[in-house]
Amino acid sequence: MFENVVVGAGLAGLVCAINLAREGRDVLVIEREQRIGGSPLYHPSPEGTPIDLEGIKAYTGIDISPAVKKFTSGRAVVYGEVVPADMDAISSYMIERGPRSTSLDSYLYSLALKSGVKFEFGRGCFSPDDFMQLPPDSVVATGLHFEGFDSFLVPYLTSFHYLARKKIEDTDSTHVTIYHDDFTTDYAYTSSINGVLLAHLFQRYPIKKDALKHFQERVYITEGFEFDSWEHFTFPVPAASISNPRIFGGRTILAGTLSGCMEPYMFFGIHGALVSGKIAAIAVSDRGKAHEEFLKATSSFRSAYLLKKALSFVPKGVYGAALKAALRRLPEDERIGRFVKHGMLGWKNCQSVVAKKY
């Protein structure tokens, strides 16, 4: 019988499991896929994030620097206008996700094995009954999958995605180009790492076919590449309610995306998943302390939620013109840096938790 069970071998689940095992506990991680690296539908994939490596190391006890790469280039394309970014100024990194040996998932998996964590692959929890069978204080970190949201009655919006990937010869390229345009009310981007090139268009409403065509054209004009085939799929995202961030589902502890840690404007994806994995591990022995840290880490969720709602009433043309005008007023080399510092509320939250630790 294991003392602690973690459901989901993604970023939050692995950070949590490593921390619990290092405390001397017997930890079992159960994972629906047959191997590490999440869903083959969208991994391997390059994911980009501003990250404070020292802060994350001090807070989670895990040095992820061997599994990240500095950006070689970055820019935003705002309604057709290219805005270059000084990536050094915002300490941003590209991270490979998925099953390959070069991914962050594989790196954390190897640390987990070294710490004595046990894994059962090809086993999942899919219904409220499955989750009820777990021992008390189990941690559920099942990411962007519907079953966790439905079982714990976490309100979600369905987000719609078009994604394309291909191999490239330049394995040193780590770029990101972020697109704000009429084709999405969220954003779209292309990115690369370790010879994988990805294009991803998403929004929290169904995407029209001509929007995909528009994005494809914009990518071709700006970057000169095309993709042979596109996958279309949907995810649950925890942006349906202003009070959505939650660390407890009854006697169970929630972590990562399921707990509301979702994306840069609310609580940064990768960064947030790593931080929330540590908070979940704290919750196993001290619910009060973990709850305090969690509230602090997710405190921008409300303002980000309200901002997003307000922006949804602004006509796209007006929004585009205002965004362009605001960017033009800033010195070129500071535009993206200031956007990250002031606009990414979730990223700022993460920092408020990790930065005090070193």
Residues that bind ligand FAD (CB under 6 A): 7-13, 30-33, 38-39, 42, 45, 47-49, 124-126, 141-145, 147, 163, 200, 256-257, 268-270, 273
**Which is closer to ligand FAD, CB of 69 or CB of 324?**
69
**Which is closer to ligand FAD, CB of 10 or CB of 195?**
10
**Which is closer to ligand FAD, CB of 83 or CB of 261?**
261
**Which is closer to ligand FAD, CB of 65 or CB of 321?**
65
Which residues on adjacent β-strands are paired with residue 74? 176
**Which is closer to ligand FAD, CB of 78 or CB of 178?**
178
DSSP letter (8 states) at residue 334: G
Burial class, 12, CB count within 10 angstroms (exposed 0-12 / middle 13-18 / buried 19+): buried
Given strand 73-78, what is the order of strands in its sheet? 81-84, 73-78, 175-180, 188-193, 196-203, 157-167, 231-237
Cα dihedral: 124, 127, 128, 132 (round 10): -30
Closest residue (Cβ) to ligand FAD? 10
Q: How far is the CB of 206 from ligand FAD (least distance, A)?
A: 18
DSSP letter (8 states) at residue 80: T
Please provide the size of the chain in residues. 358
Q: How far is the CB of 263 from ligand FAD (least distance, A)?
A: 6
Q: How far is the CB of 94 from ligand FAD (least distance, A)?
A: 8
**Which is closer to ligand FAD, CB of 157 or CB of 330?**
157
Q: How far is the CB of 47 from ligand FAD (least distance, A)?
A: 4
159 close to 237: Cβ distance less than 8 angstroms: yes
Q: How far is the CB of 313 from ligand FAD (least distance, A)?
A: 27
> What is the distance, to the nearest Å, from the Cα of residue 336 to the centroid of all Cα atoms in its chain?
19
**Which is closer to ligand FAD, CB of 31 or CB of 181?**
31
94 close to 3: Cβ distance less than 8 angstroms: no
Q: How far is the CB of 41 from ligand FAD (least distance, A)?
A: 8
**Which is closer to ligand FAD, CB of 256 or CB of 337?**
256
96, two tokens: 């490979």
Alpha carbons 162 and 152: distance in angstroms, whole number? 27
**Which is closer to ligand FAD, CB of 91 or CB of 324?**
91
Residue 68 — φ and ψ, nearest 5°? -125, 160
Which of 100, 102, 90 has the alpha carbon at shortest distance from 268?
Answer: 90
E strand spans, the chain: 4-7, 27-31, 45-50, 68-70, 73-78, 81-84, 92-97, 118-121, 139-140, 157-167, 175-180, 188-193, 196-203, 231-237, 248-249, 252-254
Q: How far is the CB of 144 from ligand FAD (least distance, A)?
A: 6
Q: How far is the CB of 354 from ligand FAD (least distance, A)?
A: 15
Q: How far is the CB of 52 from ligand FAD (least distance, A)?
A: 13
Alpha carbons 153 and 243: distance in angstroms, whole number? 13
314, two tokens: 């602004």
